[in-house]
């Protein structure tokens, strides 16, 4: 049994890609997408027809509606491959706008339902800002399940738990990147690997907190830099894994031991806390890593959203020229 198969015994494997063929090969339960992955995918010949068909069938739609329709078109095809759920992201430009986030999320779910996809199979991805978390609380109350992404701290995780969100995605690799860069030449890779990896430690702490205090929100480790980080989090509720690391796990036949479990979580769980807006903003501000990586992540997803807008508008112009 390879390590990917071993991992499936105690963790739900999620594909972090917009590539259908990779999903067919590695058979994940769920899949996650984001603007960066969709932008990358639609530039390939195999997926270009999805973009062109979306633009052709909704020629008079606004750019943001075409983006949502394209995301749903990808999501529908993904759900024909995976047996579980797909995560579809709200435009990162709404990360600090609760009302706009709610409206965009409702439209995504409506488009899925019009296409015959039950809302239970869709997770709406929203950045873990205070405004995003408040939007998720409202959406969850409406029966729209949310995946809170760009999460880098226990403070964000607790606020998500209090909002009763379905799932959170703490980012392992980006936390690791920040601490490695901050340490510079003093960074000791071997001393900061496995359970001592700063990203692994963050997710382990969140997992322990949730399991010890009976929080139903699912924990999905994300953003991995190497399979060592995945191995150290074996047993986490879900792990979303890039194609390259899925391949590495498939090729590795070493024994994989479970590292996280509800039974062992209590030994490292922080005390139960409550987070209001003031506490959230104060604690996040005091955490330089979480503050910087959240802001950076929103900027990156926003830039890719702008690129996707431009690609859609180019496709629209090409079709107009072709029609003439």
DSSP class per residue in 212-254: HTT---EEEEB--SSHHHHHHTTTSSEEEE-HHHHHHHHH--S
What one-character DSSP code corresponds to residue 118? Answer: -
**How far is the C-alpha of 120 from the C-alpha of 140, rounded, in Å?**
11
Active site residue 181: no
Listed as own residue / partner, the contacts of 7-10 with beta carbons closer than 8 Å and 24 or more positions apart are 7/230, 7/234, 7/239, 7/249, 7/256, 9/258, 10/234, 10/235, 10/258, 10/261
113: number of Cβ within 10 Å: 13
Tokens of 122: 């869709």
CA angle 56, 299, 303 (to 5 degrees): 30
Q: HEC string of 147-202?
A: EEEEECCHHHHHHHHHCCCCEEEEEHHHHHHHHHHHHHHHCCCHHHCHHHCHHHHH
Token match 């005390």: residue?
271
- Tell me if 253 sits within 8 A of 5, measured CB to CB: no
Catalytic residue among 44, 99, 125, 307: 125
Q: 16 pairs with which residues across the strands?
A: 32
3-state SS assignment for residue 138 = helix
Listed as own residue / partner, the contacts of 314-319 with beta carbons closer than 8 Å and 24 or more positions apart are 315/51, 315/52, 315/55, 316/55, 316/59, 316/66, 319/52, 319/55, 319/56, 319/59
Q: Which residues are catalytic?
A: 125
């Amino acid at each position: 049994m390879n390590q990917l198969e071993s991992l499936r015994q105690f963790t739900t494997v999620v594909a972090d890609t917009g590539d259908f063929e990779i999903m067919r090969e590695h058979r994940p339960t769920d899949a996650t997408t984001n603007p960066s992955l969709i932008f990358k995918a639609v530039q390939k010949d195999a997926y270009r027809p999805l973009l062109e068909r979306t633009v052709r069938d909704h020629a008079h739609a606004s750019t943001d509606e075409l983006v949502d329709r394209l995301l749903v078109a990808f999501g529908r095809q993904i759900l024909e491959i995976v047996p579980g759920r797909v995560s579809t992201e709200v435009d990162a430009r709404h990360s600090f706008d609760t009302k706009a986030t709610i409206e965009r999320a409702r439209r995504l779910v409506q488009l899925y339902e019009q296409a015959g996809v039950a809302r239970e199979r869709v997770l709406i991805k929203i950045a873990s800002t205070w405004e995003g978390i408040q939007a998720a609380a409202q959406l969850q109350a409406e029966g729209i399940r949310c995946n809170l992404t760009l999460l880098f701290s226990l403070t964000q995780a607790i606020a998500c738990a209090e909002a009763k969100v379905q799932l959170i995605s703490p980012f392992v690799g980006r936390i690791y990147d920040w601490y490695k860069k901050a340490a510079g030449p003093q960074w000791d890779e071997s001393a900061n690997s496995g359970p001592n990896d700063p990203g692994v430690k963050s997710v382990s702490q969140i997992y322990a907190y949730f399991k010890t205090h009976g929080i139903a929100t699912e924990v999905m480790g994300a953003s991995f830099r190497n399979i060592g980080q995945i191995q150290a989090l074996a047993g986490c509720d879900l792990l979303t894994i890039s194609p390259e690391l899925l391949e590495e796990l498939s090729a590795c036949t070493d024994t994989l031991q479970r590292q996280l479990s509800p039974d062992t979580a209590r030994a490292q769980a922080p005390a139960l806390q409550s987070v209001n807006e003031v506490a959230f903003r104060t604690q996040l501000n005091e955490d330089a890593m979480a503050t910087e990586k959240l802001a950076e992540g929103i900027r990156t997803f926003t830039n890719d959203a702008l690129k996707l807008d431009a690609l859609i508008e180019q496709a629209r112009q090409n079709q107009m020229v072709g029609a003439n």
